[in-house]
Structure 1
Amino acid sequence: MDFPVIKASGYILVHTPNILKEGGSTQTTTRAKNPDDEYLKKLDDYLRSFEEVVSYAPNQAYIGNILPDELKNIEQPWYEEQNFVEGNRYGDFGEIMPEDEFYVLLKHVDVFDLVKLSSDFISEIEPKVAEHSILKEMEIELGEGEEKSELEALLDKHAEPLYLGETLIGCVKKAHESDVNLNAHTILENLVAKASAVLSLKNMAFKNDLDLADIDYVLECSEEACGDINQRGGGNFAKAIAEMAGCVNANGSDVRSFCAAPAHAVVNAAALVKAGIYDNVVVVAGGSVAKLGMNGKDHIKKEMPVLEDTLGGFAVLISKNDGASPVIRTDIIGRHKVGTGSSPQAVISSLVTDPLDENDLGIKDIDKYSVEMQNPEVTKPAGAGDVPESNYKMIAALGVKRGDLERKELMNFVKEHGMPGFAPTQGHIPSGVPFIGPAAKMMRDGQIEKAMIIGKGSLFLGRMTNLFDGVSFVIEKNSGVKKQESSVSDTEIKNMIAGAMRQMADNLLGETE
């Protein structure tokens, strides 16, 4: 069977301590309830520097400088200085961007002149923009900027502030006087999702020497929604991102299913390519402002830095089989059906063992499983435990119950077929897809043959259903066999068919005469 392939991927992080302070949902809610809350007073003392973020081992795994399995050999806590790794802000898959550069990108992707930057900031940041491999090619025009008094006047009109430390360097205006869907905070959230998605897409193209004009379709799968009072989540993020990234020949649409959306989007993209509707489909998502500092109070209680200080983003290109890139096995798709139920056993069965059973595969035939890959140093202080490890234990326990594993093999299965969590807790970002890039690299290097990507989502959060959600798919090392391309052009084929039909008509007429 001729399967579509993972042609390329890109992963980015953006260090945004000031957006965390001003826009993260925990901080915003706390400030509204009690502006003098002790947490807010202590927050500055527990924020990391950009250098600390770059040297943090899980972040280096996310952008591709180390493999996730290498985290097993690094002492924890990873956030302590003695356990830092030799970091580079640029990785095989993408980059870690500082907040000042991201403000430039935020301004660039704003097409309604809602982002205002100070003239002093613009003059200071322009040299950095000129040195950045991607930003310098984007023809960014920042203008002359605003005076501080003008920015302060906009804040009085409910604009969202943009800070660097204690310095006000800009703001985001509301887009409508009374529409809550277009207030300044919502516009900030949506522009952040758009800008970080553009950065992911541009990094994917840059790292893989791709021409984004070759992209046919874009599927965006973040957890944000853009619209106005008449259509609150009407969209379309995908086309807005495609426009800014330079995908001039692409159409696009948005996919939503909470954390499970990226896995749904990849399956949809694979189906579009396999059906021959499009040759090159990109799945992309930017980061979530609301998730910044989500567990910050628990981190500070444990006297540790607030680790949810980075936005995440990713982009994956699904294309026709090239005989080399990892294939997406469209015949091995797990799905959480409406009638599946929400017990751990039912969920794992529907997403893992059912699709494997249908294809005569056992759980040990999958070399690596990528589940909800949240960094455990973020989740454990908040009482959520080690999420990836819990998922791997459930898969192994089901294997023991089915007789695929012996009980004594359980923890060894977790170690060999799982990996440490390394993704930021950005909702949709950790849900399976962070391992697509490393899996492709490991397949190229002959380290693994098959990986299963599992996306899960909590649909009940929207108060429309109590149902759970999930979808899974298998990526596999390419066998090197691909569908042969015809050396004859479409026009030549059409002419040959037309000539044959004319000949048949002439023969029939001759017989009639």
Structure 2
Amino acid sequence: MYPVFKKAGFTLAYAPNLMRTAGSTFVVEHLNNPDGDFLKNFESHVRSYEEVVNYLPNQIYIGNETPEALEGKKLPFSDIEYKDGKVEGKHGFIINEKELFILLRLVDEFDLVYLSEEFVNENFEDFKKRFPELENEFHKVKGSDLAHAQELIDSKHAEPLNMDGKLVGYVRAAHESDQNLSAEYMLENLAVKATGAISGLEVIREGIDKDSIDYVVECSEEACGDVNQRGGGNFAKSIAEVLQLGNATGSDTRGFCAAPVHSIIEASALVKAGVYKNVLVVAGGCIPKLGMNARDHVKKDLPIFEDVLGGFAVLISENDGESPEIRTDIVGRHTVNTGSSPQAVITSLVAKPLADNGLKITDVDKFSPEMQNPDITVPAGAGNVPEANYKMIAALAVKNGELDRKELLNFIKEKGMVGWAPTQGHIPSAAPYIGQMIDDIKTGKIERAMLIGKGSLFLGRMTNLFDGVSILIQKNSGETGEATSETGSSDSQEIRNFLAEALRKISEDLTKEA
């Protein structure tokens, strides 16, 4: 029996101040061009929390709107008159930066995060009302004296937490000389843990028994460790601890943007094999990518769209007879020998795994590749990433004789989607559609979908290779893992009875011969 997608959770954390102080583009500008036009002019392009909530792609991300809401809409999406934004959605929520700062302190186990008394007094009560499930961690959140904060920040032993132009806290280094435990990296890692944890919280908020989750796989792009084991981990188990998943263990999977689909395949295989019954795949956001393309957005007089940290979590479980099935036997792989041409990549990830199992490209109802928001990537010169993927998939279907050339544009419209995910690297990679996909398959809107994750391994300077994996999802066949277990048990008993009877007869014959 195939494992299933049980539930999914998606979160966005508004972080304009972290973008200003820790986003890679801003850090580089302050070092190399402190008096440049960008730093002089960007402030007028920073969005308010209200604007972020009322931004249509963000509402799609948390499940209040469907991807179809962007069809036919012209760029920039920020020009769309949309006033129905909500901070909580069907599949997740959007938190403000005050809540994010409190969350950083709440997930901190080593007293690295300091918040002022005034800040805690003004904001903690609202936080407690919104996240009562985290009550066991509330004792960690307390105000501190920030008298020596600026001294630590100036000496690079702390990273600032600012709000409305005022210092409200800081994150200090975890070691005096170990760069891997610097204030910069501790802030990044705590942000991964925090946004990953609330994404997992969304999954288990209703109807999921926390004690039933056996394993957690974390698949963000950051790494935690010290000088002796840089990147050793483990985000997964630390997130499980915050969520009080007492029966779970876990590990981290890294693969740049392809990591989420790698992790989904790994989790599905573990469930399929019976090693674990319920596996949570989770990822937190990436601080350095805040404002990554801000220079281009400011030049083109656009809002700075990369002002949110993304997070997601999906629960993969034994077959329940109703949730979408994960076809662990239909997996696409970008192998070492695949090559890097677009045609070779799409052939290995889409056409080949389908053909090997008697299916055509046209048999898939929806493809979810890198669902990057074109509002972000087009002004930056990176083009419309999802559209480029769909064009290649459609062209390959034409080449293989599965699609008439005249139907190419219609194929892209029917099988594709307009991107809506923030450019957080791994966050847009296939996963953003899973919540919507569960709904689409359960309601009969579609029968099959394919998740496609791709990664740029060359960024690590260890290889020039690309990477990619894919997996097919389908509507449930109606059979459950439990039924399979019972059938298996019955079959095994019949076999045991048969063998026992055969051995008895053999024993009798041997006795007679003796």
Tell me the TM-score normalized by structure 2: 0.94
Match of 2:24 in 1: 25
**2: distance between equivalents of 1:349 and 1:49?**
43
1:153 to 1:387, Cα distance in 2 relative to 1, 3 A = same
In the alignment, structure 1 segments of 5+ residues that lack a partner are none
**1: distance between equivalents of 2:27 and 2:106?**
26
Match of 1:101 in 2: 99
Count of aligned pairs between the two proteins: 506
Deviations, residues 108-162 of structure 1 (Å, cap 9, x unaligned): 1110100011111000012212320446544412454223323223324420000
Contact 1:75/1:83 (8 A) holds in 2: no
- Structure 2 residue identity aligned to 1:370: S
**2: distance between equivalents of 1:211 and 1:485?**
22
**1: distance between equivalents of 2:487 and 2:355?**
41
TM-fit CA distance, 1:76: 4.1
Match of 1:293 in 2: 291
**2: distance between equivalents of 1:477 and 1:23?**
43
TM-fit CA distance, 1:34: 2.4
In the alignment, structure 2 segments of 5+ residues that lack a partner are none
**1: distance between equivalents of 2:66 and 2:364?**
18
Deviates more, 1:371-380 or 1:151-160: 151-160
Task: From 343, 363, 366, give the equivalent of 1:365.
Answer: 363
Deviations, residues 387-435 of structure 1 (Å, cap 9, x unaligned): 0001000111111111111211111111000000010000000011111
Match of 2:280 in 1: 282
Deviations, residues 420-460 of structure 1 (Å, cap 9, x unaligned): 00100000000111111111101111100000000000000
DSSP-derived class of the 2:470 partner: strand
Contact 2:374/2:419 (8 A) holds in 1: yes
**1: distance between equivalents of 2:61 and 2:49?**
16
TM-fit CA distance, 1:502: 13
Alignment of structure 1 residues 324-473 onto 2, 5 Å: 324-473=322-471
TM-fit CA distance, 1:360: 1.1
- Structure 2 residue identity aligned to 1:480: G
Deviations, residues 330-372 of structure 1 (Å, cap 9, x unaligned): 1110000100000000000000000010011111110000011
- Structure 2 residue identity aligned to 1:163: N
**1: distance between equivalents of 2:2 and 2:281?**
17
DSSP-derived class of the 2:379 partner: helix
**2: distance between equivalents of 1:379 and 1:52?**
19
- Structure 1 residue identity aligned to 2:189: N
Alignment of structure 1 residues 103-502 onto 2, 5 Å: 103-134=101-132, 137-158=135-156, 159-206=158-205, 208-483=206-481, 484=483
DSSP-derived class of the 2:5 partner: strand
Contact 1:118/1:151 (8 A) holds in 2: no
TM-fit CA distance, 1:93: 0.7
1:316 to 1:129, Cα distance in 2 relative to 1, 3 A = same
1:36 aligns to 2:42 (yes or no): no
TM-fit CA distance, 1:505: 8.6
Contact 2:134/2:243 (8 A) holds in 1: no
TM-fit CA distance, 1:245: 1.3
Alignment of structure 1 residues 72-111 onto 2, 5 Å: 72=71, 74=73, 76-80=75-79, 82-111=80-109
**2: distance between equivalents of 1:478 and 1:21?**
46
Alignment of structure 1 residues 26-65 onto 2, 5 Å: 26-65=25-64
Contact 1:122/1:142 (8 A) holds in 2: no
**2: distance between equivalents of 1:509 and 1:117?**
82
DSSP-derived class of the 2:471 partner: strand
**1: distance between equivalents of 2:100 and 2:207?**
23
Contact 1:174/1:184 (8 A) holds in 2: yes
Deviates more, 1:406-415 or 1:143-152: 143-152
DSSP-derived class of the 1:354 partner: helix
**1: distance between equivalents of 2:72 and 2:461?**
42
Contact 2:4/2:320 (8 A) holds in 1: yes
TM-fit CA distance, 1:247: 1.1
Deviates more, 1:440-449 or 1:32-41: 32-41
Match of 1:8 in 2: 7
Aligned CA-pair RMSD: 2.4
Contact 1:451/1:476 (8 A) holds in 2: yes
1:133 to 1:53, Cα distance in 2 relative to 1, 3 A = same
**2: distance between equivalents of 1:40 and 1:360?**
56
**1: distance between equivalents of 2:485 and 2:353?**
34
- Structure 1 residue identity aligned to 2:7: A
